[in-house]
Structure 1
Amino acid sequence: MEKSFSESYKAAGVDITAGYQAVELMKAHVGRTMIPGVLGGLGGFGGLFELDVQDMPHPVLVSGTDGVGTKLKLAFLLDKHDTVGIDCVAMCVNDVLACGARPLVFLDYIACGKNVPECVAAIVSGVAEGCVQAGCALVGGETAEMPGFYPEDEYDLAGFTVGAVDKSKILDNSKMAAGDVILALPSSGVHSNGFSLVRKVFDLEGKDLHRNVPELSGELGPALLTPTKIYVKPVLKLMESVAVHGVSHITGGGFYENIPRCLPDGLSAKIRRKAVRVSPLFDLIAREGDIPERDMFNTFNMGVGMALVVPAADADKAVDLLKAEGQEAYPMGEIVPGEKGVALV
């Protein structure tokens, strides 16, 4: 069969052979993510997955999609592309986890001005690492070379995941009650939200990118690029032993927007401000940007990437179980009667 190649298309800025090279380079990374249920390999028109529902009398599929946002600008500046894929996976799988679902498959979408196979492979290596951390399979994706739409040295990255949960185990906050404890699961940094404000505060295209910050134990740029924490495995393990009444993935909108999303009407979240272990990075952002505390908690995760609501009687047990799975957790508040919302006290 004649190999696919178009000199005319290449002259217009799209080199389809670069796409084939990128696929070859990423195959080993994709192979790391294979789990039982995956059918076929790369190159088909769709990713196939055989769903095992033996332990799910009433299986429900849960889907989530997201991107990395303007954090990608930092990857461009540092010319480091092998971690933003972790962010992409994390933003999706942490969301479906908030419903009680186990992520099963993931697909990515990379749109770029020029397909540089080594760069695309580096991006996919991060996606694969995120999938390994989440226990899901990278079953497909798309790389679109779009000259004239994106600059040659820039790209966008988005992803999509599908998970499953038995209908009886969906986290629907129906069992949440006043007196439940709110546990904080520490973040790894800014994660993938608020970077438009971060870039406004710091001169990342100038002197601040490689500025050494003692409280961060290194340079500012790499600290900001730290990938988003993936909470899937330890939290799913916890759910086997503890009745989790609610999960909030703390993303854009911070505490004030995300925590109420897991609350039923008639209940409110009381967060003890002194209990929140705010990361030094957020103190730096607030100080140098002269940002009020209310705005900080309404924009960033402030060092808390996920919040779990558990019965008070199980709070200590939950902390111990999470610790045994390598995930730190601590109580930062409780559920109280009142209008749905968050009170920082």
Structure 2
Amino acid sequence: MASAPANPYTEAGVDTAAGDLAVELMKSAVRRTHGADVLGGVGGFAGLFDATAFKSFERPLLATSTDGVGTKVAIAQAVDKHDTIGLDLVGMVVDDIVVVGAKPLFMTDYIACGRVFPERIADIVRGIAAGCAETGTALVGGETAEHPGLLGIDDYDVAGAATGVVEASRVLGADRVRVGDVVLALASSGLHSNGFSLVRRIVERAGIRYGDHAADFGATWGEVLLEPTRLYTSPLLRLIAQLGDDVHALSHVTGGGIAANLARVLPRGSWVEVDRSTWSPPPVFRVLAELGGHPLESTEGTWNLGIGFVAAVSAEKADAAITALAHDGIAAWQVGVVRDGARPEGAFEQGAKGVDGGAVRLVSDYSEAGAN
């Protein structure tokens, strides 16, 4: 009996069976993010989400965001640890949704790789599912694409998109911000997922391997640098529910740093001086900056330096906001106040990402002991 002919697609480097196995390995983790609003389960051509709840809205607005993890994936690949990258992806995508006050509904992911290694893909997706579960987001679909010849065998990249909903009258943003509002900083868990091209360059030039022990941290460099992005969505939604109209604006500190991202959510003509003396950047930033021969101030447009989110709240509720966030395990502290009129002399960041917003600059010296 003649043997079955070889599959030319497999010979070209695409293993569909490996892709099917990866789906089987991730199914249970994905299903755990599904509530009654998700229809159809795993494996359909499109994810289905029941929007009946929108009937209770007067004017529901859909909020959407898309992003990736960036070159942080290169470190995960170098140390063969892939179970936290998915958390980073959720942080980069879903935490942008809450900036406008929206509750995330569902997310999809896309993984491109040189070769499908089922366990590796499943690890990535399990991380995404864990992040989705933590933020109350349904993971309703995704795609794993094998690109032999375009990507190396061990190479991959991840991206995702999410959708949320917010009542039109409850949208947060610059139009709600008032002079005298207190600007609160919310502590980051570390580098999060921005500025890793600089991180990798510093590490390479210092002759450090990711498996090397980092004496300052009691762990390997790979473990330190892969610390997952903190997820802020659920604590911030609870803060909004608790304080209502006293939460005026939120900003996710990602690419561009603290000043540029805060400026995006301030009204034109307003300004804020962020006081560096109110916190001490965590050791990972200090050690990397020293290794690279960079003053911390020169990295402010690249790294979050210990602040992952910023909130503008009414002065009367600033202490209540700090207390509420502390109950959710997030340290928060005042870094500035919204002003208007003539600005002090000196350079300010004026808007960013195409947004003509307010102006921000960082002042004073960083604390050594930290006030947060």
TM-score normalised by the chain length of structure 2: 0.88
Rounded Cα–Cα distance in structure 1 between residues aligned with 2:147 and 2:290? 40
Q: Provide the rounded CA distance (Å) in 2 between the counterparts of 1:186 and 1:228.
A: 11
Contact 1:66 1:160 in 2 (8 A): yes
In 2, the alpha carbon distance for the partners of 1:276 and 1:131 equals 30
Per the alignment, residue 277 of structure 1 pairs with: 280
SS for the counterpart of 1:203 is helix
2:105 corresponds to which residue? Answer: 104
Moved over 4 A (4+): none
How many residue pairs match? The answer is 341
Counterpart pick for 1:244 among 243, 247, 258:
247
Q: In structure 2, do the counterparts of structure 1 residues 204 and 56 end up closer, same or farther at CA, with 3 Å as the change threshold?
A: farther
- Farther off after superposition, 197-206 or 311-320: 197-206
CA distance in 1 between partners of 2:62 and 2:109 (Å): 19
Partner of 1:18: 18
Q: Residue 341 of structure 1 corresponds to which residue in structure 2?
A: 359
SS of alignment partner, residue 222 of structure 2: helix
> 1:255: how far off?
1.3
Deviation sequence 1:30-74 (CA, Å, 0-9, x none): 012112311111121111001212442110000000001000000
State the alpha-carbon separation in 2 of the partners of residues 16 and 6 from structure 1. Answer: 13
Deviation at 1:212, TM superposition (A): 3.0
Residue 261 of structure 2 corresponds to which residue in structure 1? 258
The separation in 1 between residues aligned to 2:72 and 2:22, in whole angstroms, is: 23
CA change 1:144–1:318 in 2 (3 A) is same
> Per the alignment, in what secondary structure is the counterpart of residue 27 of structure 2?
helix
User: Are 1:309 and 2:312 counterparts?
Assistant: yes
Cα contact 2:107–2:160 (8 A) shared by 1: yes
Q: Structure 1 residues 194, 162: closer, same or farther in 2, change over 3 A?
A: same
Question: 294-303 vs 159-168, which deviates more?
Answer: 294-303
Q: Whole-Å Cα distance in 2 between the matches of residues 277 and 316 of structure 1? A: 20
CA distance in structure 1 between the aligned counterparts of 2:70 and 2:206, rounded to whole angstroms = 17
User: 1:84-99 to 2 correspondence within 5 Å?
Assistant: 84-99=85-100
- Distance (Å, rounded) in 2 between the aligned partners of 1:326 and 1:344: 26
SS class of match (1:124): helix
Tell me how far 1:210 sits from its aligned partner: 2.9
Q: Contact between 2:206 and 2:291, CA under 8 Å: does it hold in 1?
A: no
Check the 8 A contact 1:32/1:132 in 2, yes or no: yes
Q: 1:58-97 alignment to 2 at 5 Å?
A: 58-97=59-98
Output the CA distance in 2 between the equivalents of 1:203 and 1:23.
35
Instruction: For 1:278 and 1:105, locate their aligned partners in 2 and report how far apart those are by CA, in whole Å.
Output: 34
Instruction: Give 2:221's aligned residue.
Output: 220
User: Helix, strand or coil for the counterpart of 1:118?
Assistant: helix
Deviation at 1:294, TM superposition (A): 3.2
Distance apart, 1:205 and its partner CA: 10
Distance across 1 between alignment mates of 2:49 and 2:222:
39
Residues 204 and 221, structure 1, Cα contact 8 Å, conserved in 2: no
Q: Aligned partners of 2:257 and 2:113: how far apart in 1?
A: 30
Sort the Cα spacing of 1:147 and 1:292 in 2 relative to 1 into closer, same or farther, 3 A. Answer: same
Task: Find the counterpart in structure 1 of residue 347 from structure 2.
Answer: none
> Unpaired runs of 5+ in structure 1?
none
Instruction: Name the SS of the counterpart of 2:104 in structure 1.
Output: strand
Question: In structure 1, what is the Cα distance between the partners aligned to 2:361 and 2:209?
Answer: 34
Q: Which whole-Å CA distance do the structure 2 matches of 1:27 and 1:91 have between them?
A: 23
Bigger CA drift: 199-208 or 299-308?
199-208
Deviations 1:167-196 (A, max 9, x none): 011112212122211111111111110000
Match for 1:27: what amino acid? K
Cα distance in structure 1, aligned partners of 2:311 and 2:35: 28
Secondary structure at the aligned position of 2:71 is classed as helix
Name the residue aligned to 1:159: 160
2:281 aligns to what SS in structure 1?
coil
Paired residues for 1:101-180 under 5 Å: 101-180=102-181
Q: Which runs of 5+ in 2 are unaligned?
A: 344-349, 351-357, 364-372
1:269 Cα deviation from its structure 2 partner = 1.8
Partner of 1:30: 30
Distance verdict in 2 for CA 1:60–1:178, change over 3 Å: same
Cα deviation digits, residues 185-218 of structure 1 (max 9, x gap) = 1111111100000011112995342333344232
Q: Percent identity over the alignment?
A: 44
Distance 1:54 1:324, change over 3 A: farther
Give 1:81 deviation, angstroms. 0.5
| TM-score of the aligned structures, taking structure 1 as reference length | 0.95
Q: Determine the C-alpha separation between the residues in 2 that align with 1:82 and 1:204.
A: 27
Classify the secondary structure of the residue corresponding to 1:252: coil
Match of 2:42 in 1: 42
Distance, in Å, in 1 between the alignment partners of 2:133 and 2:143 is 19
The 3-state SS of whatever aligns with 1:305 is: strand
**Contact kept? 1:173, 1:246, Cα under 8 Å:** yes
In 2, Cα distance between equivalents of 1:114 and 1:137: 27
Quote the Cα distance in structure 2 between the aligned partners of 1:329 and 1:207: 33
The answer on whether the counterparts of 1:77 and 1:205 sit within 8 Å (CA) in structure 2 is no
Which amino acid in the other structure matches residue 315 of structure 2? Answer: A
